[in-house]
Amino acid sequence: MDFQAALAYLDEHMSYQKTGRIDSPSVEPITAICDALGQPHRSCPVIHVTGTNGKGSTVQMISRLLAAQGLSVGTYTSPHLEHVTERIRRNGEPISEEELGEAIGAVAEVAPLVGQSPGYFEILTAAAFRWFADVAVDVMVIEVGLLGRWDATNIVDSQVAVITNIGLDHQEFAGPTLFDIAREKAGIVKPGSAVIIGETDPELITIFQDAGGAASLVVGDDFATTSNALAVNGRLLDIRTPTTIYTDVFLPLNGAHQGDNAAVALAAVETFFAAPLAEEVVLEGFAEVTMPGRFEILGRQPLTIIDGAHNPAGADVCADVFFGDFHPEGRRILVVGTLRDPVAMLSALRADDFDIVFVCNAPTPRTIPVAELQRAARSIGCEHVVAFDSVEAACRRAMDYADGDDAVLVTGSLYTAGAARPVLNRLTN
C-alpha cells in the first residue's frame, strides 16, 4: 500500500477522531491483528507511559535518555502535530511515508482475515509495533492514547509502567472522579512492571501501588526534582533518584512542570537499566529533547508561542508559564480553539487577563463552535473578543495586530497548535 492509499484507509476508519465516541472499547481487535502479524509488540522491552498531562514530554525525555545510552529506540506518541508520520519514530526520526504506507498495508491485509475492522488509532498502533519489530529497535517507548486499561497500546507487557499525573479528563469514558480515572490508567500496570508514579495525591498513589506491579517508585519519596530554575530557553535542574543526585542538568523546554516530568523520565530509565546513568548520558539525553507544540516559542518580536494544552489542567499550567516565566510587557493576545468545556478552558487560561481574545474553530469535527466559544469568553469577563472560522485566519489577524513588544499565545488543543505552527512559522521567519 502506498502512502496516499494508507491515508485513505485511515480516513475510512476514523470514528473517535470525528465523533469523540468509542463503541464497546476493547483491546480484542488489536490483539487479534497483532497476533496475525506475529506479535510484534513482544519483539523487545517496553516502557509504557500514561497520565493526564505530560505524557508526550515524558516519553520524549525517556526516549532521548535511552538513545544517549546507545540503544535503538522506537517511540510511539499521539496525536501528531502536523504530519501523521510524527507519531512513529526511531531515535527521534519519523518513519518515512513509504514505510508507514507499507506497515499500514500489512495491517489492512490481515484485519479482515481475523474478522476485525480496526479504528484509526488501532491501525496506527499495530503499524507502529510492526515497524519497530521490522527495524529491530532495542526498546519501545509507548504513549497511551486514551486512559489505559482498554487503550490499543495496552496489549504490551511493559518492563516499566509510568504514570505522570492524574487530572479530570476524558470523563465521558471514565469518571466522574479522579479515583475512577486513576483506576483506568492503572490498567497499564502488569505483574512484571516496575511502576513509576509521578502523581502526588496519597490516595491516588495507593491505587497504582496496589495495581499488581512488581515494584513501585513514588515522586517525592524515591525521586524528585530538587532544584528547578528558569534558564535561558529552558530549565536548569537538580534531580534526585534512588541511586544518584544529578546536578546542573539543562532541559531545553519551558515551564517548571517540565522539570517535574524530567524527574519521572529519569527515574523510569534508571529503573529500566536497574542502574544509575553516567552524567554525560543524562546531560546529552536531556539536551536533545524537543517538544514542538508544547509551549514552543516561534518568534520573539512579537513573542509568539503555541501550546497544545487540551484540558483545564494543562491550560492552567500554560497560563502559569505565560504570565509567570514570560510576564510580557506589551499587549497580551490570545488565540484559542478548543474541544473541551469552553468556560473551564478559558477560565484556566485566564483569558480575561488578555488584552484581546481571538476565538476560532479548531480543525476537527469535535471543535467547540466558534460562536459558543465567543459567548463563553464574554461570560467570564473578556471585553474584546473576535471570532474567526479558522485557526489560520485568527493567527494572521493576531500577527497583524501585534507590535514588537506584544505577546501572542495560540492554544486550546493540539489540533489548534498544529494548524497554527506552519502559519506562524511563515509569518515570523
pLDDT the model gives residue 19: 45
Please say whether the structural domain 296-428 has been given the CATH code 3.90.190.20: yes
Q: Which residue has the cell 502512502?
A: 3
pLDDT the model gives residue 16: 53
Spell out the per-residue pLDDT of the chain, length 429, in tens. Answer: 999 999 999 999 987 555 445 555 789 999 999 999 999 999 999 999 999 999 999 999 999 999 999 999 999 999 999 999 999 999 999 999 999 999 999 999 999 999 999 999 999 999 999 999 999 999 999 999 988 999 999 999 999 999 999 986 645 555 678 999 999 999 999 999 999 999 999 999 999 999 999 999 999 999 999 999 999 999 999 999 999 999 999 999 999 999 999 999 999 999 999 999 999 999 999 999 999 999 999 999 999 999 999 999 999 999 999 999 998 889 999 999 999 899 999 999 999 999 999 999 999 999 999 999 999 999 999 999 999 999 999 999 999 999 999 999 999 999 999 999 999 999 987
Alpha helices in 143-288 (DSSP H): 178-185, 202-209, 256-273, 279-287
Give the integer Cα–Cα distance in Å for 345 and 331: 21
> pTM of this prediction?
0.95
382: left (phi over 0), alpha (psi -120 to 50) or beta: beta
User: What DSSP designation does 364 have?
Assistant: S
Sign of the Cα pseudo-torsion (248, 251, 254, 257, in order) = negative
For residue 110, how far is the Cα from the chain centroid? 29
Same fold, 3-287 and 296-428: no
Give the integer Cα–Cα distance in Å for 373 and 338: 8
- Cell (9 digits) for 188: 497499564
Q: Which residue has the cell 492509499?
A: 5
Domain boundaries, the chain: 3-287, 296-428
Q: Say which residues have a Cβ less than 8 Å from residue 83's Cβ, sequence separation at least 6.
A: 94
User: What DSSP designation does 352 have?
Assistant: G
Q: Which overall architecture, per CATH, does domain 3-287 show? A: 3-Layer(aba) Sandwich (3.40)
User: What DSSP designation does 150 have?
Assistant: T
pLDDT the model gives residue 30: 96
Residues in the chain: 429
CB 333 within 8 A of CB 410: no
pLDDT the model gives residue 429: 78
How is the beta sheet containing 356-360 ordered, strand by strand?
Answer: 296-300, 303-306, 407-411, 332-336, 356-360, 385-388
CB 214 within 8 A of CB 193: yes
Give the integer Cα–Cα distance in Å for 141 and 127: 15
